[in-house]
Amino acid sequence: MAAETFGGNTVVIDLGLARGEPDEYVRPARSTMPDWFAPVLVAVIVLLSSAASAAPQPSALSPVLTLPFGPADPYALTDDGDLLAQTYGTISSYDLSDGHLNWQAGSVSPTYRLRTGGDLVLMRPWSGTQGDPGTTAISLTTGVAQWRRSGNVVTIAGSSALLAVNAVRSSGSGRRVQGPVDALEPFGGTTRWQVPVPSTAVLMGVPGPGDNGPRMLLMHDSQLAAVHDLDNGRLLASARLPAADYGPDNPSIAGGLLVLRHPTPTGRMVSAFDPVTLRLRWVRPAGFAFGVSSCGPLICLTGPDGVRAVEADDGLQRWFRTGWRSVEQRGGALVAFGTPEGETEPVGTIEPATGEVLVDLRGWRLVSGPGGGDHLLVTRAADASGRTMVAVAAPGGVRPELLADLPAGTGDCQSVPGRLVCRESTGELVVWAYRRKD
């Protein structure tokens, strides 16, 4: 045995056979391995062999259904887990769980907006059609045509009521109506009851007492607010509210209250009313706020100076975040928007009670739809090749959890629990099943 020193303190010990080591180093008379080594070695080999032969982990993103689809063809996802798609003169319904075809129905040439309500598919051509295109209803279960009505048919969240209205074109969202409001019988399209509107009004849903479901509010341009029963149209409450710019987003429902922004001689104010009785609950200065949103149990006032959350009980401020521009409820998550890159860029999911950012979403884009209930799907460009990353933003994660890459040119995505639906530049609509990591 020899020891040599290289460059200071490093010592190399040579135990080579040419230096006179005992013969037993070459052919030992007994095993030099400890007794426990052999069984451990066998166990390791078995473990490695099992891992090598095990089935590969399923992909985080796997296609369920692929349809030929044009760039202007509409599609919609229903609450019951179906895909509605119009293409090549046909409206089709597919089960999102396995991709099988539920039904197909022929349609006339216009491309429709596809909405659902009262177990019906409500189809109305996109704007630009000459005259009143009316609304056509077909069965959501079978695709069989049910009826056609003039005007637009709208729904109120949480209710099966179908309301036929004539929308004021300049109102944008269609909430401002003119002329009577007709409640329709779902499978015949006949009028069940009617509420007259002398001039114009903003139509919206407001919560009823307890578990009684929503009601209809008509905010008339005469400043008269009228709450009606959706079962029979009966007037339940009315009150004259302050003069305001009644429009698609004013008044609004937030924190369980009817919230109105309006001018006064001393400045712009925000007033909150009980949606059942229309009794005034509180008034506070609006500041720079031009929007009102729900922040869980709180009310968020949004404007160019930031987002201010106030208590629903008394209007007192709970928290304030400069730089933010808006908040939006997405499924079970509240998302804040407004970064140096843009007013509509997401900041992250936030805790409503404190305004704390829970999951950082800067640089990501939210996928339309409710997501997975307790989580959201988000996307972002992977690189200059046009590939898109898709990830899950869920409680407990500081940043989104990457799932997989989507093909180049993928866009216009929507999501429901367990499914992601996207258009592809190849002229297809693809339904993907996504699986979160264990």
pLDDT (tens digit per residue) in 125-140: 865 556 677 889 999 9
pLDDT reported for residue 89: 78
Q: What average pLDDT does the segment 313-329 reach?
A: 96
Q: Residue 287: is its pLDDT beyond 80?
A: yes
Is position 321 within any domain? no
DSSP reduced 3-state for 368: strand
- Of 49-63, 191-205, 251-265, the least confident: 49-63
Q: Which amino acid is at 173?
A: S
pLDDT reported for residue 56: 52
Buried residues in 422-438 as b, exposed as e (16+ CB within 10 A): bbbeeebbbbbbbeeee
- The number of beta carbons lying within 10 Å of the beta carbon of residue 31 is 9
pLDDT classification of 28: cutoffs 50, 70, 90: very low
Of 170, 158, 245, 244, nearest to 204 by C-alpha is 158
- Of 226-235, 328-337, 343-352, 383-392, the least confident: 383-392
Q: Where is 309: in which H helix or E strand? A: strand 306-310
Residue carrying structure tokens 């429709």: 112
Which of 211 and 129 is assigned the larger pLDDT? 211
Is position 121 within any domain? no
- Of 42-51, 150-159, 165-174, 223-232, the least confident: 42-51
- The number of beta carbons lying within 10 Å of the beta carbon of residue 365 is 17
Alpha-carbon span 164 to 137, nearest angstrom? 12
Is position 411 within any domain? yes
pLDDT reported for residue 168: 81
Is position 146 within any domain? no
- Domain containing 383 equals 367-438
Of 163, 181, 107, 174, nearest to 138 by C-alpha is 107
Q: Give all strands of the β-sheet with 120-125 in edge-to-edge order.
A: 112-117, 120-125, 135-139, 145-149
Query: What percent of the chain is predicted at pLDDT more than 70?
Result: 82
pLDDT (tens digit per residue) in 343-384: 999 999 999 999 999 999 999 999 998 776 788 999 988 776
In degrees rounded to 5, what are phi and psi of residue 147? -170, 170
Is position 389 within any domain? yes
Of 336, 349, 345, nearest to 393 by C-alpha is 349
Alpha-carbon span 238 to 260, nearest angstrom? 15
Which of 72 and 67 is assigned the larger pLDDT? 67
For the chain, how many structural domains are there in total?
Answer: 1
By the 8 A CB rule, do 271 and 286 touch? no
pTM of the model: 0.81
Is position 423 within any domain? yes
- Average per-residue pLDDT for the chain: 84
In degrees rounded to 5, what are phi and psi of residue 52? -70, -35
Q: Residue 50: is its pLDDT beyond 80?
A: no
- Of 28-37, 185-194, 199-208, 316-325, the least confident: 28-37
Alpha-carbon span 372 to 436, nearest angstrom? 11
Is position 160 within any domain? no
pLDDT (tens digit per residue) in 82-103: 999 998 778 999 999 999 999 9
Query: What percent of the chain is predicted at pLDDT more than 90?
Result: 58
Q: What average pLDDT does the segment 322-340 reach?
A: 93
Is position 19 within any domain? no
Alpha-carbon span 369 to 81, nearest angstrom? 12
